[in-house]
């Protein structure tokens, strides 16, 4: 009878060589199985060998094969499935995200992540498991979407680890996601086209389109601007909030780097002052 079922194994480096220490089942003459200590050689570490990170990935992959061979699956602690962690993340972390970011995360959970990993233990989402997940997804969605999904999983796993749950955080560097593919050239308006659009527009769209053309701000950032954000003396525009395109509530910008103090050109200043005088 095997002494134990699921194993993490032990990863060690001795004299520059990486090994995995584990227990293997040895069939006895009478047909019973006896669990014995075994050592698997991974390879040499260093200048003429593999990196320690690569060796550890090999260790994880080897232990997964050992456990699968034994018919062993890492158990999920009661109340600690990946879905439980996600629900706690929803309470503690989600309220601090922008509405658009939260909608994206919830879409990831609903359509891809929870149907696949909801009932799994967080510590079973290893490199091998997520590589298989990513490879399957690449047949259906773009590489960018796969990266976003994996980033969502990683965020939940990091949160789980900070709160004492057993979890594995897999870096994107540890996964092969394929090439980006041929990038489609993004359409854009020329200066002449932009002038025609602005010239044919009625207020308040004329001023909004002028703001967009001169600053590159997102629509939500433009809609969230108020008079206090415009400094006609210092010629600056303060961008630190955004209007959500779903509920029209004013909240944080999409990313931290979106917060900015932008220059206010004389042409744009004239357009804005003229608009405010007539408003």
**Residues, the chain:** 279
**Whose structure tokens read 């960018």?**
144
What value does the mean pLDDT of the chain take?
87
Average pLDDT score over residue span 61-79: 66
Q: What's domain 191-278's superfamily in CATH?
A: Intergrase catalytic core (1.10.443.10)
Mind giving me the DSSP string for the chain?
--S-S----EEEEETTEEEEEEEEEEE-TTS-EEEEEEEEEEEEBSTTSB-HHHHHHHHHHHHHHHHHHTT--PPPPTT-SHHHHHHHHHHHTGGGS-HHHHHHHHHHIIIIIHHHHTTS-GGG--HHHHHHHHHHHHTTS-HHHHHHHHHHHHHHHHHHHHTT-------GGGS------PPPPPP---HHHHHHHHHHPPTTHHHHHHHHHHH---HHHHHT--GGGEETTTTEEEE--EE-TTT--EE--SSGGG-EEEE--HHHHHHHHHHHHH-
Domain coordinates of the chain in residue numbers? 10-69, 82-174, 191-278
Residue 275 pLDDT more than 60? yes
What fold is seen in the domain 82-174? DNA polymerase; domain 1 (1.10.150)
Residue 146 pLDDT more than 90? yes
Residue 167 pLDDT more than 90? no
Dihedral sign, Cα of residue 97, residue 101, residue 107, residue 109: negative
Cα–Cα distances in angstroms (integers) from residue 260 to residues 91, 221, 227, 249, 253, in the given order: 29, 11, 16, 20, 10
What gap in Å lies between CA 98 and CA 221, rounded to an integer? 13
More confident residue, 29 or 264: 264
What gap in Å lies between CA 212 and CA 159, rounded to an integer? 37
First to last CA, the chain: 84
**Whose structure tokens read 């399957």?**
136
Please state the pTM of the whole predicted model: 0.59
Residue 3 pLDDT more than 70? no
Predicted local distance difference test score (pLDDT) of residue 2: 44
Say which residues have a Cβ less than 8 Å from residue 194's Cβ, sequence separation at least 6: 209, 213
Average pLDDT score over residue span 106-129: 92
Q: For 50-64, 81-95, 263-277, which range has the lowest pLDDT when averaged over its residues?
A: 50-64
- Token representation of residue 211: 């703001």
Bridge partners, residue 44, by sequence: 17
Task: Name the pLDDT band for 1 (thresholds 50, 70, 90).
Answer: very low
153 close to 169: Cβ distance less than 8 angstroms? no
Residue 209 pLDDT more than 90? yes
């Amino acid at each position: 009878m095997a002494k134990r079922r699921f194993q993490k194994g032990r990863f060690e480096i001795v004299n520059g060589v990486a090994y995995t220490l584990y227990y293997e089942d040895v069939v006895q003459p009478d047909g019973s199985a006896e669990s014995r200590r075994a050592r698997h050689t991974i390879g040499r570490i260093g200048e003429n060998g593999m990196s320690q990170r690569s060796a550890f990935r090999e260790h994880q992959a080897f232990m997964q094969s050992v456990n699968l061979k034994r018919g062993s699956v890492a158990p999920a602690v009661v109340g600690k499935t990946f879905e439980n962690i996600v629900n706690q993340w929803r309470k503690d972390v989600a309220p601090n995200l922008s509405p658009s970011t939260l909608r994206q995360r919830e879409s990831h959970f609903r359509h891809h992540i929870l149907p696949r990993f909801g009932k799994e233990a967080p510590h079973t989402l290893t490199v091998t498991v997520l590589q298989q997940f990513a490879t399957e997804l690449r047949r259906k969605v773009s590489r960018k979407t796969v990266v976003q999904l994996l980033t969502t999983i990683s965020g939940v796993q990091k949160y789980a680890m900070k709160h004492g749950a057993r979890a594995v955080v897999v870096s994107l560097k540890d996964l092969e996601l394929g090439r980006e593919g041929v990038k489609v050239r993004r359409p854009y308006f020329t200066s002449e086209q932009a002038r025609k659009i602005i010239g044919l527009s009625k207020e308040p769209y004329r001023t909004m389109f002028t703001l967009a053309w001169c600053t590159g701000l997102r629509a939500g950032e433009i809609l969230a601007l108020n008079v206090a954000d415009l400094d006609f003396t210092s010629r600056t525009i303060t961008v630190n909030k955004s209007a959500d395109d779903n509920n029209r509530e004013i909240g944080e910008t999409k990313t931290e780097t979106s917060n900015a103090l932008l220059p206010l050109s004389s042409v744009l200043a004239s357009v804005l002052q003229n608009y405010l005088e007539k408003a």
